Amino acid sequence: MTVTRVAACHAAPVFLSARKTTDKAIKLIHEAARNKAQLVVFPETFIPAFPVWSALRAPTENHDLFQGMATESIYADGEEINAIRAAAQATKTLVSVGISEKSRFSTATLYNSNLLIDRTGAVLTHHRKLMPTFFEKLTWSPGDGHGLRVSQTAHGNIGNLICGENTNPLARYSLMAQAEQIHISTWPAIWPTRVPSESAGTAANYDNVAANRTRAAAHCFEAKCFGVLCAGFLDNEAIGTITSGAANEDSVRGALEGSPRGASMFLDPTGALHPAYTLSNAGEQQDKEFLQHEEGIIYADLDLERCVEGKQYHDVVGGYQRLDVFQLQVNRTRSDPVIFRDEAVEKRENELAMKVDE
């Protein structure tokens, strides 16, 4: 079997609640598994939220929101992820989930992270976003190259980049060079760059659908892989929380309600839109190009054999590359703030070294 059924969960978190959002994720995993999905994908930092307030409110207004974000962010080896791992194992599905990750070495260092979990419950890839984009730097620290890995699974070779990383050609190339067949790109519900005005409407703002699809399509065409774009959904609970307490509540609400919404969709190895569909509780299929203005799960059946033909024309990591001219080096070491050496261990190492010298 070369066909993989993928479920992209176009869903809103239970805003700033790690536990409730985890419970929602588990329900969606079981729903997708009942519909025979083999890979279930969640948006960028689905647990516990995306900090869009930093785009619209002054930093001096956001201390309480950051406090809530730090409190509700989760450990990559914590109870919430353990529950999702158990759900993946119980349903025999692969799960890709975006989280705001809490570090073990600080009370408030956070990372924008993504975990790929195998159908056995094992964590295959733990990626931290290399560089938070624009206002995201007010919440997250830069990650490292440790997670620039393509996982070989029973349902394809799967890689992931988070939002703006899909604009980084070197990060993308590092995944292409690992025989990537399914590329997951995760996105927020909105990404406002301007407050919409009555005269300009949304035209002057950032078009999530066009921008995200352009980047993902370029990668699919170059890598000859399938693309899974999974964006979050902005619900009224999030709008109310972000708006409350802002110096200019009307302006913030207008930006939240008027900014273009992200969309969840699938692309084929030529970069073209791939057929997708939703499924009702009764199993009725409805064809959809993408999900944007409503919550739900969108599905696609990806035939991985289609990743082969295009390589005849442009295999940019093989026959269509000049390896004698270009060379890319990727540091996949996990970055830690400090390395402690135990005195007893160091003494023992020195003793062994002396014996070798003798």
**213: part of which helix (H) or strand (E)?**
helix 208-223
pTM of the model: 0.94
Angle, alpha carbons 101-329-170 (nearest 5°): 65
List the chain domain ranges. 3-354
Q: What is the mean pLDDT of residues 28-41?
A: 98
Catalytic site includes residue 129: yes
3-class secondary structure, 150: coil
pLDDT, tens digit, 9 for 90 and up, residues 150-174: 999 999 999 999 999 999 999 999 9
User: What is the fold, at CATH topology level, of the domain defined by 3-354?
Assistant: Nitrilase/N-carbamoyl-D-aminoacid amidohydrolase (3.60.110)
Candidates 24, 102, 129, 288; catalytic one: 129
The closest of 206, 242, 182, 214 to 61, measured between CA atoms, is 242
Catalytic site includes residue 163: yes
Candidates 9, 163, 220, 307; catalytic one: 163
Please tell me which residue, 345 or 233, carries the higher pLDDT value.
Answer: 233
Candidates 9, 24, 44, 180; catalytic one: 44
pLDDT confidence of residue 351: 75
d(CA 130, CA 112): 9
In sequence order, the 6+-apart residues with CB closer than 8 A to the CB of 184 are 41, 96, 114, 116, 158, 159, 160, 161, 228, 230
Catalytic site includes residue 9: no
Amino acid sitting at position 182: I
C-beta of residue 260 within 8 angstroms of C-beta of residue 208: yes
DSSP string over 310-333: GGGT--TTTTTS-TTT-------P
pLDDT confidence of residue 193: 86
